[in-house]
Structure 1
């Protein structure tokens, strides 16, 4: 079995050595779910500073929930960050790829600092000095940190939506198409936060 990659500061260090001070990592979460919005996190690392959590971050998908929650707090308490969203309606209207870029750009709009360089998880963005890195959330500390804060924020929202739209167990599946979620979707029909452009949802008639 292949080892899980450990994110490093390789890409950040290259940007710092080229003269950047603030280096941002950006990643989005929630592309695969059939319900709920897509969210992006941006985390900005300064030159000349090191934090202990740098060695602890991983792609958010491979971390236990408790570890994500603890790391998200450490990240948010120590460096600039921001969250951006694209709604279910926007996903259905423009498609998931444009929605991914949209929520990333909205995250940058919320930042308190202007990054000198950006490391993106695979996506090109219409911003200065962007480096798109495939599997960036597994390779870059800044991108992995961004994936963590975004994942924690989106999961918290899905817990709220679970209370607003009961019957789909969104608290547990977070909108992903688990066998249970698809069974409940078949029984109840889609809710207003299900993505009608996604095949598992499109096949059912609205009952709301």
Structure 2
């Protein structure tokens, strides 16, 4: 027997707005493609028929307070998966493929709760392990993608806030790793960390073989990442630049 509170709650979930929502859709979006620091985070979101959260919109159009409140609502009322790709994976595979990786991880987690079909993802030219339709600016057009954008953004912000306590000198809590003027100035002052995206400009210009050697010796970066970054720096394992070698051969 249903309680009055359950009936009331169900009525609140179903509004005239739900008439315009296709509840068969799974929405996917990411946060953090542009920063110089930290992971890229993706979310995949599915709502049961009639579940409507007032105020869901593109996360970029919301205030931090609004995002936090909606994050809590979506967290409680949606079925979702969250996935991320690390700075190492971003360096090794590039940000585009790392984003696909994070999205696939989010969908795989969601697949434990719902059948993965009718997937709509914000962006273009993304090739996922599940059939998906790319929608440019989908985070402002499709309810579930908007919800995914909020989950991904707030989750990433929470991750970066934890890093802030590890690296307070970069003031990550303010700029969240994006290339603001403040972040760029602090990068020049303190140099990069292993959690920066070391293949990104202008971070790579602040990386040296001696710095990579030190991190590698301390176990802060893996050998594949170490070798990949040396390749980007055009430096071999002995510290010789391949540019210099090519120039010498041509003389």
TM-score bracket relative to the smaller structure: 0.7 to 0.9
CA-CA distance at 1:126 after TM superposition: 3.2
Say whether 1:61 aligns with 2:63: no
> Counterparts of 2:18 and 2:97 in 1: how far apart (Å)?
28
Contact 2:116/2:130 (<8 A) preserved: no
> Counterparts of 2:68 and 2:98 in 1: how far apart (Å)?
25
Alignment-derived partner of residue 88 in structure 1: 87
After superposition, residues 1-208 of structure 1 pair within 5 angstroms as 13=22, 22-46=24-48, 48-53=49-54, 56-111=55-110, 112-123=113-124, 124-205=126-207
CA-CA distance at 1:29 after TM superposition: 0.6
CA-CA distance at 1:88 after TM superposition: 0.1
Aligned residues: 191
Q: Specify every segment of 5 or more residues in structure 1 that has no aligned partner in the other structure, as ranges.
A: 1-7, 17-21
> Counterparts of 1:75 and 1:205 in 2: how far apart (Å)?
40
Q: Higher helix proportion, which one?
A: 2
Deviations 1:91-146 (A, max 9, x none): 00110000010000000111122233101102433345421111011111110100
Distance 1:12 1:197, change over 3 A: farther
Q: Higher strand proportion, which one?
A: 1
Greater length-normalized contact order (CA 8 Å, ≥ 6 residues apart): 1
Query: What is the CA RMSD across the aligned residues, in angstroms?
Result: 2.0
Distance 1:178 1:9, change over 3 A: farther
TM-score between the two structures when normalised by the length of structure 2: 0.71
Q: Specify every segment of 5 or more residues in structure 2 that has no aligned partner in the other structure, as ranges.
A: 1-16, 216-251
